[in-house]
Structure 1
Amino acid sequence: MLRTIDGGRTWSSVGPADAAALQFRDIEAFDARHAVALTIGSGTDSRIYTTSDGGRSWTRAFQNEDAAAFYDCMTFLDRRHGLALSDPVGGKFRILATRDGGRSWSVLPTTGMPAALDGEFAFAASGTCLVSAGGQAFFATGGGATARVFTSRDLGRSWRVTGTPVPSGPSAGIYSLAYRDPHHGLAVGGDYTVPASAPAGAARTKGRDWLVAAVPPGEYRSGVAWSGPRTAIAVGPTGSDYSPDGGVTWRRFDTGSFDAVACVAHACWASGAQGRVARLTWTH
């Protein structure tokens, strides 16, 4: 795990010492000092760490002890309330919740969770298979017969599920979500084993129903983020794309390989394999 305090000119390693061999896929930062980070994997490889000093020290807040669980991604609805998503256990997706900013976590009951499809799971590619906006939480899936989006309005206790037109399969589906507000969402994905072809790999919603982008990126994308009220960025191993119209059309602007993207106040950062990090520079 890396941290910069000078706009990306220099970076320092700040990861937990006992997690050097684990895969970090999600970090939620509240300010320059406070953050929560998620590692993924089966059994005890799924962990959550917290820091209150900018990464100089970390506390292990959660370690999964269920061999059937695999946590993929995490989101915070505010500084206190957060959720983490596991692939299905016993036929239903599992939700882990915190009410104290990540210091303690508990598994929520699954009575309000719809049954998973055969083979359905979530993708941990960019840490954005579970996101939130306006007090609501959303997560996306693939692997099964249909790529679906689940929505919760009550901090993860109950969920409504909607099918999407994004193709789904053993390695295909929705890899990343981004919501501008509870009504305007973007989804990107495809099949990571066929990265150069995803003709219906991007979709958008203005409420409940999802529509395939009129001009999609056309290739597998693992991360998406809103960069403004109508603009968005999508990234993947074969390039990056820009949408000026809320996800209706996408235009390629870079051919570099990235896995995840995040935008704050019109500043966008992308990350990729082997510690690759880039900052988007806007030109007019």
Structure 2
Amino acid sequence: MTAGLVGAALALALAAPARAGETPAAPAPAAGWQLTPTGTDVRVRGLAAVDRRTAWAAGSRGTVLRTTDAGRTWRDVSPPGAEDLELRDVEAFDARRAVVLAIGEGEASRLLRTEDGGATWTETFRNTDPRAFYDCVTFLDHRHGLALSDPVDGRFRILATRDAGRSWEVLPDSGMPAALPGEAGFAASGQCLVAAGPREVRFATGGGATARVFRSADRGRTWTVADTPVPAGDPARGVFALAFRDRDHGLAVGGDYRTGRPSPSAAAVTADGGRTWTPAGTPPPAYRSGVAWLPHTRAAALAVGPTGTDLTLDGGRTWRTIDTGSYDSVDCAPDGGCWASGEKGRIARLARP
């Protein structure tokens, strides 16, 4: 597929009719990433797309950013005193309410919540177990959320909230299959743990002999696990990100995050909720850390990583590179607004045709 055809296909995938009563906009630029001015140089791995105008981002040095004007300006709404925290995930309900996850061993893993657009923050969880290391957080709806920790005593640990992140509890691990030696999650893009419906949730792993995907249909109480064809067997290799457009159809991307290392078979697809995974026939050419379905399509999705962005138009079976900019995470809102974030404060908005 030529670059021109890829651009045309992306434009087609993004096209959506104007909403009722909406004044037709001026001609838009060609479909593709448009960098926005963030005013920071930190690495931004956490990303939450609310809509075309509103997004949240979280990164190193305790940084939280928010835009409500389609990226023309970003406001620094970082929690006071959080400069030593490594924020790797953010989940936003709207322009005012969001939850951010700080990663690290022991008390470095924390969850904070805001209800006023980041003007004030409340720490709602601080990990006191030195064996735990939290990687990702996700919400299944506006009340129920889960956070994932690397294995403790041989099993992955799940933290749960039923009140929109105001309080959290560690769930029993009796329904969690045993972890493989060396197996862990990757805190690379906030997408190692994702919702697949109001009760369904999935998380991805690497580091062990096999890269696996765990799935739960009861909000994290019990789990089953399946192997994927994405290479693992090394602490730097495995599945780094998942995306589900419904309870059945999912994408997995990953590879080897070390610069210059080959990442063959770095993508897989499922059509049965994660029970089985099939390797992409034409995977991305390198390690990818983030993936998102394009809204209002059944087969289009984007994957991002330090060496570029790839597009699939056939549900993850084949991928083509459409941009060579460096990004760690990608997220799309229900209204079609898509965003990407990465190193050196890079945050981009996907221009619509």
User: TM over 0.5: same fold?
Assistant: yes
Residue in structure 1 matched with residue 222 of structure 2 by the alignment: 158
Structure showing the higher strand proportion among its residues:
1
Q: Which residue of 1 aligns with 2:28?
A: none
The amino acid across from 2:245 in the alignment is: R
Give 1:257's aligned residue. 326
3-state SS in 1 of match to 2:299: coil
Q: 2:351 aligns with which of 261, 281, 284?
A: 281
Q: 3-state SS of the aligned residue for 1:240?
A: strand
8 Å contact 1:175–1:190 — kept in the other structure? yes
Partner deviation per Cα, 1:20-68 (whole Å, 9 max, x = no partner)? 2211111111111111111111111100001100111100000001111
- The one-letter amino acid of 1:149's match is V
What's 2:207 paired with? 143
Match of 1:218 in 2: 285
**CA–CA distance in structure 2, aligned partners of residues 21 and 2 of structure 1:** 16
- Counterpart contact for 2:231–2:264, Cα < 8 Å: no
Considering Cα pairs closer than 8 Å and 6+ residues apart, tell me whether 1 or 2 has the greater RCO: 2
Corresponding residue SS for 1:145? coil
| Alpha-carbon contact 2:212-2:225 (below 8 Å) kept | yes
In 1: Cα distance, 2:158 partner to 2:261 partner: 33
Query: Would you say 1:243 and 2:320 are equivalent positions?
Result: no
Aligned counterpart, 2:61: none
Tell me if structure 2 keeps the 8 A contact 1:260–1:271: yes
Code of the residue aligned with 1:180 in structure 2: it is R
- Matches of 1:112 and 1:20, distance apart in 2: 37
Say whether residues 1:69 and 2:138 are aligned partners: no
Deviation at 1:155, TM superposition (A): 1.0
Unaligned runs of 5+ in 2: 1-63
Counterpart in 2 of 1:234? 303
SS of the residue corresponding to residue 274 of structure 1 reads helix
Size of the aligned set, in residue pairs, is: 283
Q: Give 1:185's match in structure 2, choosing from 237, 250, 257.
A: 250
Contact preservation (8 Å) 2:91, 2:139: yes
From 9, 15, 19, the equivalent of 2:82 is 19
Give secondary structure in 2 for the equivalent of 1:181.
coil
SS in 2 for 1:278: strand
Indicate the SS of the match to 1:217: coil
Could you state the TM-score of these two structures normalised by the residue count of structure 2? 0.79
The one of 185, 189, 192 equivalent to 1:126 is 189
Give secondary structure in 1 for the equivalent of 2:130: coil
Q: Is the 8 A contact 1:237 1:256 kept in 2?
A: yes
Report the CA distance between 1:248 and its aligned residue: 0.8
Opposite residue 34 of structure 1, the aligned amino acid is R
Q: Does the aligned pair in 1 maintain the 2:191–2:241 contact within 8 Å?
A: yes
What SS does structure 1 have at the residue aligned with 2:218? Answer: coil
1:202 aligned onto 2:267: yes
Compute the displacement of 1:196 (Å): 5.5
Match for 1:189: what amino acid? G
For residue 282 of structure 1, report the CA deviation from its aligned partner: 4.0
- Cα RMSD for the two superposed structures: 1.0
DSSP 3-state at the match of 1:19:
coil
Deviation at 1:179? Answer: 0.4
Is the 1:195–1:220 Cα contact (8 Å) retained in structure 2? no
After superposition, residues 87-126 of structure 1 pair within 5 angstroms as 87-126=150-189
